[in-house]
Structure 1
């Protein structure tokens, strides 16, 4: 990636009031991330969600200066990163509307494996939770999944260590820059994680582990994975937020049940009770729900159902069939179509009975 493009991406990341959703909308509407900063303000104001309160920050010279400093660091340290429009950007994460436009990574990551699961839970895990986590990962070993977690105390680090012990790749998603580490006591695991996977973060190299960063991190933990597993949780906690996010992404969620009187089983029991998570009693539950027990060769490939779809319509249909229901803006990004053109195509596909619209500008096959 050339310096001009990377600088523009970093400027967007540095701009106040522009999150990942709005950043993607700007890039889609203008045609490229570089063009965002070449457009006139009056043109940008015509984009839904963009007003003077956004553009006044967009062209702030302080943001440009910060972005230039981070660019220099990246170039001097050969930092590795992924842009959301790049082919190597994780496909599961690409399907999430609020996924980071850019994230940094280190280690020996290989995200080609489509069997990716997240394991999260309380920092105050019991021996019951620890034993179950270790056994679960060991029993899943034959399916060679990638284990994702947040590198925190308790369930997170237990999941990472269990993956390493069973020679499985593990990904630690951080709530700070790669030059920092939290908690400090987990420094001793850095080499092992890098040797067996690696680290991912959307935060710049020297970003501190601020409280709000952990909630942002949780969406990456959920978005990378096909399923999120909650080992133990109190009635409130970050792992329940991760479960909510995973549900919003239409990903499977599993929860380990516990005794009604156990404080750190209340959250999991509530998820199961309210049909927000599948009951998890063994690795077999995960394997069956995710169809890991079905050989790929035996999964029938569906023929075209709508013979009157043109090439572009078929491309959109195949995309939605693979990714599930998706937002209009994300379909436009992933299928490389202008939003105005896509809207017209989707109407034609709806009339043909190939797709159906959902609330919130979402569509599904």
Structure 2
């Protein structure tokens, strides 16, 4: 057990130090251990760090380090991976978002950085139509071997996990509580099966209870992990719509299964489609088209184009992409290039046809080298 690991976990256990603040402190100080040893005057210079946070660090250091040792011991005993956001195994998709978790607890064998990921969510009061659609969606997705992500809750969530297990797909349940407790308890057997064919993931340390306030936080992890989010059934209000809203904010493609106009369980899905907050889901071909998964299966070689042959606008786009590591969301690219979104989308389509860039899930674009 390394001292650095102890400090990393201890930072996540401090009162008033959330994920965003923890990452800010580590970035500013250089390491979690430095956060605990830095003088108050230095910590005060970190962005958005005030006296309350500094007081928490100084007064709770010993207790947090002691609790961190306990958490690390339990994790080792229970074969749980503790993933800090700087770790190699941390889900890269989450790193795109500034509100991503500082720490994750994971038990399972699925690759959290799988090539394709699909989130499936919906109402806890699933109808027979919703259950049947969930099973069909998962079965049709099997050809692409995606990682299926959901929240282990009653209704659509648990049916998506069960369907994945039946179809031989890895499936990860994102929980709002610690890994020492399965919630709801009725899903314990399915959860145990998922550890062998997928996994269980949470932001909460051992002992964390499934308090209501933790579920929206859990939902952002589901959205952040997903290349595409499918809402199968949803009432007018509820967790599924919260997840869909977060997914839209993250530039994740959202699909909704349409339903009977008089069915309460389909009100949310129909509303998402009506308000252009989700694509209509009629078959897996809809996802293939939007995410270009059908193109991914081909082995055509992109046509290379030298920098000297680029138009002025293409050169501006390429420069900004290269500055950001070669990949960027279209919204960010529009801001940095000062090219209107509609015009930029058309330009990127032309560049993709030329083999200069490639569209990725989540409305991201990557330079083709």
Q: TM-score range by the shorter chain?
A: 0.7 to 0.9
Q: Aligned pair count?
A: 334
What is the deviation of 1:110?
A: 1.8
Q: Superposed, which structure 2 residues align to 1:111-122 within 5 Å?
A: 111-122=112-123
Deviations 1:115-165 (A, max 9, x none): 101000001011111111111111111111111000111000110111111
Structure 1 SS opposite 2:265: helix
Aligned: 1:318 with 2:325: yes
Contact 1:177 1:205 in 2 (8 A): yes
Moved segments of 4+, more than 6 Å: 306-309
Partner residue in 2 for 1:359: none
Distance 1:299 1:244 in 2: 36
What is the deviation of 1:350?
A: 6.3
Distance 1:22 1:181 in 2: 28
Partner residue in 2 for 1:161: 162
Contact 1:226 1:252 in 2 (8 A): yes
What is the deviation of 1:208?
A: 1.6
Contact 1:84 1:94 in 2 (8 A): yes
What is the deviation of 1:290?
A: 1.1
Distance 1:301 1:113 in 2: 27
When structure 1 is superposed on structure 2, of 76-85 and 16-25 the one drifting more is 76-85
What is the deviation of 1:45?
A: 0.7
Partner residue in 2 for 1:141: 142
Distance 2:307 2:118 in 1: 31
Contact 1:326 1:364 in 2 (8 A): no
- In structure 2, relative to structure 1, the CA distance for the partners of 1:319 and 1:98 (3 Å cut) is farther
What is the deviation of 1:87?
A: 2.0
Unaligned runs of 5+ in 1: 328-346, 357-362
Unaligned runs of 5+ in 2: 339-343, 345-363
Partner residue in 1 for 2:46: 47
What is the deviation of 1:59?
A: 2.0
Distance 2:206 2:236 in 1: 34
- In structure 2, relative to structure 1, the CA distance for the partners of 1:129 and 1:301 (3 Å cut) is farther
Partner residue in 2 for 1:340: none
Partner residue in 1 for 2:300: 298
When structure 1 is superposed on structure 2, of 258-267 and 3-12 the one drifting more is 3-12
Partner residue in 1 for 2:178: 177
- In structure 2, relative to structure 1, the CA distance for the partners of 1:285 and 1:313 (3 Å cut) is closer
Contact 1:325 1:364 in 2 (8 A): no
Partner residue in 1 for 2:211: 210
What is the deviation of 1:324?
A: 5.2
Deviations 1:226-264 (A, max 9, x none): 111100111100011101111111110111111222111
Partner residue in 2 for 1:188: 189
Instruction: Report the TM-score, using the length of structure 2 for normalisation.
Output: 0.82
Distance 2:184 2:269 in 1: 25
Which is bigger in relative contact order (C-alpha 8 A, separation at least 6)?
1
Partner residue in 2 for 1:25: 24
Aligned: 1:123 with 2:124: yes
What is the deviation of 1:218?
A: 0.6
Distance 2:48 2:303 in 1: 41
Distance 1:40 1:81 in 2: 28
